[in-house]
Amino acid sequence: MYKSIAAELVAEALNKSTEETTKMIERPKQLQHGDYAFPCFALAKEKRQSPQYIASELAESLSNPAFSAIEAMGGYVNFTLHKEHAGSHVLQTIQQQQAAYGSSTVGQKELVTIDLSSPNIAKPFSMGHLRSTVIGSSIGLLLEKQGYQVVRINHVGDWGTQFGKLICAYEKWGDEAKVRRNTIPELLKLYIRFHEEAAQNEQLDQEGRDWFRKLEQGDAYAKKLWRWFRDVSMEEFGRVYELMGVTFDSDAGEAFYNDKMDRVVKELEQKGLLSLSEGAQVVELNTYNLPPSLIKKKDGATLYATRDLAAAIYRKETYNFSRSLYVVGHEQNLHFQQLKIVLMKMGYDWADGITHIPFGMVLQDGKKMSTRKGKLVLLDKVLEQAIQLADDNISKKNPNLIHKEEVARQVGVGAVLFHDLKQERIHDIDFSLEDMLRVEGETGPYVQYTHARACTLLAKSEMNLTSPEIDKDTAAEAWPILSQLLQFPEAVTYAAANYDPSRIAKYVIDLAQAFNSYYGKVRILEEDEKLAARIGIVTAVKTVLAEGLRLLGIGAPKQM
């Protein structure tokens, strides 16, 4: 709201669009420099004047009752809010809107599909799949808060040559009784052994390809094994998703599109887009300075690209999305460039709405985790350790806590999810169980504890809050908190527009730190004429912290 007022003032004075000036307005790094700042450096060349002179002239020409001061500082025009008015306004807004604070209708109920998580069946759910799952889930929550309809799709990896290799390994070395007792770990051992043996025996790879061809051709025995592997895997994945509180609208994996690929290949042929390259069928993309998109191998087997083309068309026809998002690691950048261009060449203008949201890898000892080499950290084990650690801490510090098991789950899982989501999405992350399970500092448990502290204060106060009004002194004392509360809608808008949950993670840390600093200096529950104002501040902090955590897919316990 107030940023818009400042932007409109500057736009009118400079005869520019409000949209342009809104993008230029910044938040000063230090509160004493005001609440908003307009930099004048970009105007210096245009006006052939120094930024300092432009800022001085501009500041003198601006005024609005929302601001107690508009003044030049260096090459900036700084806007300082009337703290008691702005503070009272934000507290009243949060009280009226509750969890809806920060929501908008910018999405206008347009439908967005999100392809996220997508683990491979017959393999354990490793830390490598955590990022796609939690980033995609949070992006979905952010877009819903912006007024979009969201369809979450778990495009599980349940097809491809690796299943021929697994069937081959099971046939050679598998023990049905052992596999049935401990399915996923035993299948993983077989998969690893296949690759170890194949390094010494090239014939094995061909046998794996042969088994996959049988599977594609509908061989009954191969399909029976494949269904068994898939069913057990989906059950195991479901247990991990339930722990994390992640849900999907569809788990149509790669195999779902087997009967939809012929149509794609025929359409590519009819439109003259297919050509032969060393016996394989490809779509040439040399005019885009890209390698060709491989549609069918020399032996007629379909590929990842074929299935993704079929999936994109199916999703458009089924959901009529305005945007289709793929939360997939950055190593797949080329694949999604090719996918989008091939669809455009097929005449599908809606392909412009396809967006790849890349992210960095989870590394172990600086290297990529690898299923085939057995270098994996299992997500369910990490979650279980985190929950156990949370349970141990609760037992020591608050042994009589009601619903201890549920709180331990929220705190343990929250620690793992927050550790990932606070990172810049595109950066690689070095796996450190110690860092992930830490409860102090910039962590999920720290934010959760702050929320629980606010809940405890409100329970002790037993005050029925009306319309919170704050005076000048209270506003000044609590301004670091009030300033943060004012920024929440802006943080949500930025995070949703940039597909960046880390913006919300950093926001809730900043708000929690501001509140804990206030808590350490002020006797919040002291019976005086300002008690209602202080309770209004605590209530607002509790509401916004809970909503910020929810947008990250993390629970907000009322007690810890």
Q: What is the pLDDT of residues 307-339, one digit of tens each?
A: 999 999 999 999 999 999 999 999 999 999 999
At residue 161, does pLDDT exceed 70? Answer: yes
Quote the tokens at residue 212.
């996959």
Q: What is the pLDDT of residues 104-126, one digit of tens each?
A: 999 999 999 999 999 999 888 88
397-406 average pLDDT score:
92
User: How high is the mean pLDDT of the chain?
Assistant: 93
Rounded Cα distance between 66 and 62, Å, is: 12
Closest CA to 188 of 132, 220, 154, 232: 232
31-49 average pLDDT score:
93
Task: Please give the pLDDT value at position 113.
Answer: 98
Task: Please give the pLDDT value at position 414.
Answer: 96
425-435 average pLDDT score:
84
pLDDT, greater one: 390 or 1: 390
Collapsing DSSP to helix, strand or coil, 104 comes out as: coil
Rounded Cα distance between 157 and 368, Å, is: 19
At residue 372, does pLDDT exceed 60? Answer: no
pLDDT level of residue 371 (50, 70, 90 thresholds): low
Task: Please give the pLDDT value at position 322.
Answer: 98
Task: Please give the pLDDT value at position 122.
Answer: 87
Task: Please give the pLDDT value at position 153.
Answer: 98
Q: In terms of DSSP H, where are the helices of 422-554? A: 433-436, 444-461, 472-477, 479-497, 502-521, 531-551
The predicted model scores a pTM of 0.93
Task: Please give the pLDDT value at position 10.
Answer: 97
At residue 374, does pLDDT exceed 70? Answer: no
Q: What is the pLDDT of residues 466-504, one digit of tens each?
A: 667 899 999 999 999 999 999 999 999 999 999 999 999
- For 442, residues 6+ apart whose C-beta sits below 8 A from its C-beta are 422, 509
Task: Please give the pLDDT value at position 366.
Answer: 67
Task: Please give the pLDDT value at position 462.
Answer: 77
Closest CA to 345 of 411, 288, 405: 288
Q: What is the pLDDT of residues 49-91, one digit of tens each?
A: 999 999 999 999 999 999 999 999 999 999 999 999 999 999 9
pLDDT level of residue 377 (50, 70, 90 thresholds): confident
28-48 average pLDDT score:
92
Chain centroid to CA 110: 19
Lowest-pLDDT range of 308-312, 433-437, 454-458, 532-536: 433-437
pLDDT level of residue 29 (50, 70, 90 thresholds): confident
Task: Please give the pLDDT value at position 310.
Answer: 97
Collapsing DSSP to helix, strand or coil, 277 comes out as: strand
